[in-house]
Amino acid sequence: MATVSAKKSTHSATRTSGRPAPELIFGDLWEYDPSPETADPKLKGRYELFIDGKFVAPAAGKYFDSINPATEQKLAEIAQAEASDVDRAYQAAKKAAAGVWGKMPGKDRGKYIYRIARLLQDRAREFAVAETLDGGKPIKESRDFDVPMAAAHFFYHAGWADKLDYVAPGRRVVPLGVVGQVIPWNFPLLMLAWKLAPALAMGNCVVIKPAETTSITALKLAELFQDAGLPPGVVNIVTGFGDTGAAVMAHPIAAKVAFTGSTEVGKIIMKSLAGTDKKMTMELGGKAANIVFADAPIDQAVEGIVNGIFFNQGHVCCAGSRLLVQESVAAEVLAKLKNRIKVLRVGNPIDKNTDIGAINSKEQLTTIQRLVASGVKEGATMFQPACKLPAKGYYFRPTVFSNVTMSHRIAREEIFGPVLSVLTFRTVDEAIEKANNTAYGLSAGVWTDKGSRILKMSTELKAGVIWANTFNKFDPTSPFGGYKESGFGREGGRQGLFDYGKLS
Amino acid sequence: MSDQAAHRRFVKEIGSVDAVGIEERVAKYATRSIKNASKIFGLRLAVTMVDLTTLEGKDTPGKVASLCVKALQPHDDPTVPCVAAVCVYPSMVKYARRALGDKSPVRIASVATAFPSGQAPLKTRLAEVTAAVGDGADEVDMVINRGAFLAGEFQRVQDEIVAVRDACGRATLKVILEVSELETYDQIRAASFLAMRVLRPGDFIKTSTGKTSVNATLGNNQVMIEAIRDFYLETGIAIAMKPAGGIRTAKQALQFLIAVKETLGDDWLNNTRYRFGASSLLNDLLRQIEKQRTGAYQAPYYFSEAAESY
């Protein structure tokens, strides 16, 4: 065996003879000019509550500001609902459920939902820009992921509306009535679609509360409901803070509540609802293990690690925030990961070339900073690329911690930011043990060329979604949800739909 | 050790490529938005990287001479730089040298080694290389022995590359892998390493002959530049890259350059490290440069044709 491998050893020999290690230069020889998305988001100065098909002022006449986290500038005023507003919304929903929507044949309900999906597609750019301005996510993500995926959820569930006889074959499935929903700020429009589409397809009416930092696209969608001629009261949107959310969850009319958000708040809601007969689904936090075996295609695994943790600034409940990498390739993976992160573009989210946008709020930025400081203090090794950040706005550099151990806070707590903790393992069993050693169980990723190992891992990992040789892939047909403290109930697919109905 | 055992060990050593993952990666290059000054920079850079090519049975000394003039001055706008090289068949090298003279900034590349199939005895292939270099070729574009590669005879493939390299003398060598005949990304990565391990710094690996149905794509370009990157970081030896065939528009060329910028970095953004094997690409680059300058598209007949499509 001569040069096929022998030549390589002579090359390695030259390197060890004292020359500095070769490096790649990711400099400014060819900079990309700013390329802002210019579609008009058509924002109003003030957004009212959407109750009974109309935009109405809140009873107390109070409003709060929604700001653009990329610039810290005010975008619009949002109505602050109190308990009486929430009650008004529930009364409207109850009336619509009993009078129109619950009785309407499924194929007619489907028509409305299809119409919503198409209207959203028609105005996709406008919604994408609004989503980016309001939430700070890169325009390429809101344009290529959030908005199309939201439309896809409406399309998928519209198709179910006249096929409910097949949800539980042999049994009849009926709607629950009125459901209360509270959604988070990380995917404002998409989470709205995840919640509304199955509820509506099944024949329920809804009272939903968006997160206080990201209410705008929900209220823009309410404009589409009007355009679509959706009967009044079928969807009611109340905006506000935690107390509004608590009122939505606790209202006696709600037959079911669905919550997506932090495990901490999920626990509070469950305590407050203990003893009621409300159905519940909870989609809570995560601390997903992304597991890279030595035989994995390393460059694609690195790409998957980047997608797993830096997608949407890491504001993703199923983010691959714990990288478990087999010791024999750990150095290689880490080196490649660093080179990849050097070319990520952090900055103004409205720029089409931005890979990592703004952190959603000042509060979240503070949380991330606090947890990152704890990682440094506990002795993990931190890497951040030397990218420039805009002077104003909430930004955080993509961050990788190596030499992390299982007892570090950054390996246990959900950071919900662009921060990756890298741990190593030696054997398959150790990988499973470490991956499952968490209170969470929402998602996991496995990278290997060995098919049988993928099957083994998918049965051993205690997580609701397991991706093999990819990460952060979503589809309306695929049920999504957690194990353990990541929640219960599913969203998407037949299973998610069934969580909005009952057997009669 | 048998050839096939060596083959297996080699593929394991350099690692595998996931096809779905690599295509997802390169799809992101196509979403980059290149505007204004950065677009002009990219377009002009691409012009300097073109190996302006004519590889036809019907090539004549006159056609090659006209190609050379176009290569030296692609557009009436004198600020547009000349291309990197002309690329011709061995029998045309002497005419190209005559047209360009001895001190030309445009280099002469000659395909050789029984291009495009490579199906000739090694002795004949080497003689072709020697003749092309003797006639004045600065660069030699060889094809690898795909038959031997697919049969698992890696050593033979590599030995032949060494023989051609030695026959090149001072001429730069470009090793055409003919990726569409290797079919899988794993094989493309293996062939890249096989070649790089016996190349000299500044020699090239090249995707295709342009004579098969699939030529350069962002996917196979990515596999090859990642191989170049890995080899460079491991050995310090910088190998250059040439995608060829199928790159006809300025937009495509910019996407390939984005891939280079984000994978190999600034050191590869020049024509000693990156080339485009193309002919119709050049006029589209010029057309886009004019569009940036004047704000309007000009009709194709404003740009002189020097070669047929490739």
Flag whether A37 is in a domain.
Answer: no
CATH number of the domain that residue A274 is part of: 3.40.605.10
- A383 vs A333, A402, A423, A452, CA distance in Å? 14, 8, 14, 34
Report the chain B residue with the minimal C-alpha distance to residue A351: B33
Are A297 and A187 members of one domain?
no
Please provide residue B177's backbone torsions phi and psi, each rounded to the nearest 5 degrees: -85, -20
The answer to whether B42 contacts chain A (CB < 8 Å) is yes
Flag whether A121 is in a domain.
Answer: yes
pLDDT at residue A20, rounded to an integer? 83
Indicate which residues of A carry an active-site annotation.
283, 317
Nearest by CB to A24, which of B41, B229, B237? Answer: B229
Flag whether A443 is in a domain.
Answer: yes
CATH number of the domain that residue A390 is part of: 3.40.309.10
Flag whether B132 is in a domain.
Answer: yes
Are A324 and A178 members of one domain?
no
Q: What is the pLDDT of residues A91-106, one digit of tens each?
A: 999 999 999 999 999 9
Flag whether B309 is in a domain.
Answer: no
Q: With bands split at pLDDT 50, 70 and 90, how would you rate the model's confidence at A17?
A: low
Are A155 and A108 members of one domain?
yes
The answer to whether A1 contacts chain B (CB < 8 Å) is yes
Flag whether A16 is in a domain.
Answer: no
Are A161 and A186 members of one domain?
yes
Are A226 and A368 members of one domain?
no
Helix runs in A97-187, H state only? 106-122, 124-135, 139-141, 147-160
Structurally, chain B folds into a number of domains equal to 1
Flag whether B307 is in a domain.
Answer: no
Question: Going by DSSP bridges, is the β-strand pair B204-206/A49-51 parallel, antiparallel, or unpaired?
Answer: unpaired
The residue range of the domain holding A61 is 46-284+483-503
Alpha carbon of B80: minimum distance to chain A alpha carbons (Å) = 18
Q: What value does the mean pLDDT take over residues A2-13?
A: 46
Alpha carbon of B93: minimum distance to chain A alpha carbons (Å) = 32
Are A159 and A279 members of one domain?
yes
Flag whether A435 is in a domain.
Answer: yes
Alpha carbon of A275: minimum distance to chain B alpha carbons (Å) = 48
| 8-state DSSP, A314 | G
Tell me which of B3, B12, B33, B199 to substitute to probe the interface with A (most A C-beta atoms closer than 10 Å). Answer: B33
Contact A463, A443 (CB under 8 A): yes
| ipTM of the prediction | 0.94
Flag whether B308 is in a domain.
Answer: no
> In this model, does residue A449 exceed pLDDT 70?
yes
Flag whether B147 is in a domain.
Answer: yes
Q: In whole angstroms, what is the distance from residue A487 CA to residue B129 CA? A: 68
Q: In whole angstroms, what is the distance from residue B152 CA to residue B148 CA? A: 6
Structurally, chain A folds into a number of domains equal to 2
Are A330 and A352 members of one domain?
yes
- A451 vs A295, A429, A448, CA distance in Å? 11, 17, 8
> What residues pair up with B50 in beta bridges, in sequence order?
B276
Are A331 and A280 members of one domain?
no
Are A368 and A447 members of one domain?
yes
Flag whether A68 is in a domain.
Answer: yes
Contact A333, A298 (CB under 8 A): yes
| 8-state DSSP, A281 | E
Q: What is the mean pLDDT of each run of 10 residues along chain B (310 residues)?
A: 78 92 97 96 98 94 95 94 98 98 97 96 98 98 96 95 98 98 95 98 97 94 98 97 96 98 98 96 96 93 74
pLDDT at residue A19, rounded to an integer? 73
* pTM of the entire predicted model: 0.95
Are A462 and A495 members of one domain?
no
Chain B residues close to A15, C-beta within 8 Å: 234-236
Among residues B241, B286, B240, the alpha carbon closest in space to that of B82 is found at: B286
Q: In whole angstroms, what is the distance from residue B275 CA to residue B270 CA? A: 8
DSSP B45-103: HHHHTEEEE---TT--HHHHHHHHHHHH--SSSTTSPP-SEEEE-GGGHHHHHHHH-TT
The residue range of the domain holding B18 is 3-302
Nearest by CB to B22, which of A5, A19, A300? Answer: A300
Flag whether A14 is in a domain.
Answer: no
Indicate which residues of B carry an active-site annotation.
141, 206, 242
Tell me which of A144, A300, A350, A355 to substitute to probe the interface with B (most B C-beta atoms closer than 10 Å). Answer: A300
Flag whether B67 is in a domain.
Answer: yes
Flag whether B127 is in a domain.
Answer: yes
Chain A residues close to B226, C-beta within 8 Å: 299
CATH number of the domain that residue B238 is part of: 3.20.20.70
Alpha carbon of A334: minimum distance to chain B alpha carbons (Å) = 14
Asked if the Cβ–Cβ distance from A4 to B197 is below 8 Å, we say yes
> In this model, does residue A389 exceed pLDDT 90?
yes
Q: In whole angstroms, what is the distance from residue B140 CA to residue B108 CA? A: 9
Are A54 and A134 members of one domain?
yes
Q: In whole angstroms, what is the distance from residue B141 CA to residue B93 CA? A: 13
Are A212 and A329 members of one domain?
no
The answer to whether B37 contacts chain A (CB < 8 Å) is yes
